[in-house]
Amino acid sequence: MKARIPKGYSGSGSPSNLQQLAKQAQKMQEEMDVANTELEAKEYSATAGGEAVTVTVSGGMRVKSISLKPEVVDPDDIEMLTDLIIAATNEALRSAAAEKEEVMTKISGGLNMPGLF
């Protein structure tokens, strides 16, 4: 079975095409780096328990703050408070990850290139 050469490929290694492809990849990487820096600076907040718990995370997936309303702190029900903190944290992280995925997909045109982001 013969390998098919992509249309427009001269087969001679076409240095100009390879250089153009390398430039496009470099530009895409630079755009992703800029977008990643901007996303990491953003903050995402989520609440749980009717806004009794608010968690804020960075775009770099780090917890920045946790805010609790006094009425949610019940020494006899620590488990509920723990569940609310986990729920709010997971939702804030999900929001951050979803926006990052959306931005990076827009830049890459949907290409899946491990190591670029």
Structural domain contains residue 16: no
Domain count, the chain: 1
- For residues 100-105, average pLDDT: 90
Highest mean pLDDT among 1-5, 74-78, 83-87: 83-87
3 alpha-carbon distance from chain centroid:
37
What does pTM read for this prediction? 0.70
- Residues 45-56 as b/e (b if ≥16 CB within 10 A, e otherwise) read ebbbbeebbbbb
- Residue 14 clears pLDDT 70, i.e. is over it: no
Q: pLDDT class for 117, splitting at 50, 70, 90?
A: very low
What does the pLDDT read at residue 104? Answer: 87
- Residue range of the domain that includes 64: 43-109
Structural domain contains residue 54: yes
Structural domain contains residue 52: yes
CATH of the domain at 63: 3.30.1310.10
Rounded CA gap, 111 and 32, in Å? 13
- Residue 61 clears pLDDT 90, i.e. is over it: yes
Structural domain contains residue 10: no
